[in-house]
Amino acid sequence: MTAHAETHDHHGPPLAHQSSRVDARVLGMFLFIASEAMLFGSFFTAYFFVRVVNPSAPETWPPEPYHFPVFVAGVNTAILVTSSFTMHWALQSIKRGERRAFLAGMVLTFLMGLAFLLTQVVEYIHVGFNTGDGAFASVFFGLTGLHGAHVFVGLTLLGMVIVRGFRGHYTPEHHHGVELPGIYWHFVDVMWIVVYAAVYLI
């Protein structure tokens, strides 16, 4: 009788078998990030081809008289890296049920991401060259612009989390809506460190 009752308690299709210890939503985000990493990899391939493989590439990078704003980009890097820590703080806060700390962390993360993006726009305006000034300019705007687009997407996700957070959503038991954008944001931060090192420092 008990088995018969249990059979009728569940409505709809049978529950999916989960063979992995990783939550399906988190695994999906990791797979998406892997595809995004391959996209960046194709851009890095073109970048290093222009700089190393192509015999017409100049010995100095960028070619004279152009210069990259290394210091400004370094400050921007520090801002974005710090935003990863505030994102982690926000996630840990909602896991502990500390809603005020969670909202403070999310707002700080959003503001730092926005500052990074606006600084990059200002950098584009004052960098002194555009996409028509040779292959070096193309790969510069290609890589940094691709990353900037990812930052914009990340800010959109963070904004949605903030709006929902102020509406009372998310609890220690239900926080995947914070965790998944957080994973994406950490990916954006790590990828910028690679872009900064490859484009501005090497």
Domains identified in the chain and CATH numbers: 24-201 (1.20.120.80)
Q: Which of 15-19, 45-49, 139-143, 191-195 has the lowest mean pLDDT?
A: 15-19
Q: Which residues contact 46 (CB under 8 A, 6 or more apart)?
A: 139, 142
* pLDDT, tens digit (0-9, with 9 covering 90-100), for 178-198: 999 999 999 999 999 999 998
Cα–Cα distances in Å, from 182 out to 8, 23, 90, 152, 186? 39, 15, 9, 14, 6
Overall average pLDDT of the 25-35 stretch: 85
> What is the pLDDT, as a whole number, of residue 70?
84
Q: Which residue has the higher pLDDT, 7 or 175?
A: 175
CA 47, CA 142: separation in Å to the nearest integer? 9
Residue 158 has pLDDT above 80, yes or no: yes
Q: Which of 38-47, 54-63, 78-87, 157-166 has the lowest mean pLDDT?
A: 54-63
Q: Position 97: which residue type?
A: G
> What is the pLDDT, as a whole number, of residue 11?
63
> What is the pLDDT, as a whole number, of residue 59?
62
CB atoms within 10 A of CB 181: 24
> What is the pLDDT, as a whole number, of residue 58?
56
> What is the pLDDT, as a whole number, of residue 1?
44
Q: Which residues contact 40 (CB under 8 A, 6 or more apart)?
A: 143, 146, 147, 191, 194, 195
Residues 198, 71, 181: CA angle, nearest 5 degrees: 65
> What is the pLDDT, as a whole number, of residue 55?
56
CA 47, CA 44: separation in Å to the nearest integer? 5
Quick one: CA dihedral 86, 179, 144, 191, positive or negative?
positive
User: Residue with structure tokens 């299709």?
Assistant: 13
CA 202, CA 200: separation in Å to the nearest integer? 6
- The band of 16, judged by pLDDT with boundaries at 50, 70 and 90, is low
> What is the pLDDT, as a whole number, of residue 3?
47
Residue 8 has pLDDT above 60, yes or no: no
DSSP 63: P
* pLDDT, tens digit (0-9, with 9 covering 90-100), for 57-84: 556 667 677 777 888 889 999 999 999 9
Residue 151 has pLDDT above 60, yes or no: yes
CA 27, CA 34: separation in Å to the nearest integer? 11
Q: Which residues contact 37 (CB under 8 A, 6 or more apart)?
A: 187, 191
Overall average pLDDT of the 90-114 stretch: 94
Which has the closest alpha carbon to 135: 72, 80, 187, 62? Answer: 62
> What is the pLDDT, as a whole number, of residue 63?
67
The pTM of the full predicted model, rounded to 2 decimals, is 0.82
